[in-house]
Structure 1
Amino acid sequence: MILKNDETAANMLQNFLQSLIATVEIPIDFSFLRIDVTDEVIDRLANDAMDEQRMISANPRKVYKEDVIKIYNEVLPR
């Protein structure tokens, strides 16, 4: 299969992954953990993530603590 562009490929992958997640019933967030997520918890997790330089340095884009906090806010239930 030849794809027209990167956006088409990305959309196809997203659709495939959403279908797979629904089929195998994988949770799409961490609410099943029933963790009391507070700003302090997210801040601590973000600090820990920023301390993990092996992962941070391998990222092709500069990562800031605010980026990590945004990601945690998107995936952790409040």
Structure 2
Amino acid sequence: MLNCREITENADRYLDKEMGFLERLQMRLHLMMCRHCTRYVEQLKATIAMLRDLRLEQPAEESRERLVEVLRGDGGRPPLRY
């Protein structure tokens, strides 16, 4: 099974679906047991989604505040699923 360091090093590949079946299965098993890594992957996913949704005309301070809200979990969005 993968350890926490391997999870954090490969979280972007996991979210981008760039892993083979076995490696993806190992990630999922670890995430089912480790709330810290699960939170890390959720935060990374939220960051990616927020950056994708940013609009150029939106003030930088407002964007930063929205990102902080999402990362804290009080952004009003449903929980992230991976």
TM-score (norm 1): 0.33
Name the larger-Rg structure: 1
TM-score (norm 2): 0.32
Higher relative contact order (CA 8 A, sep 6+): 1
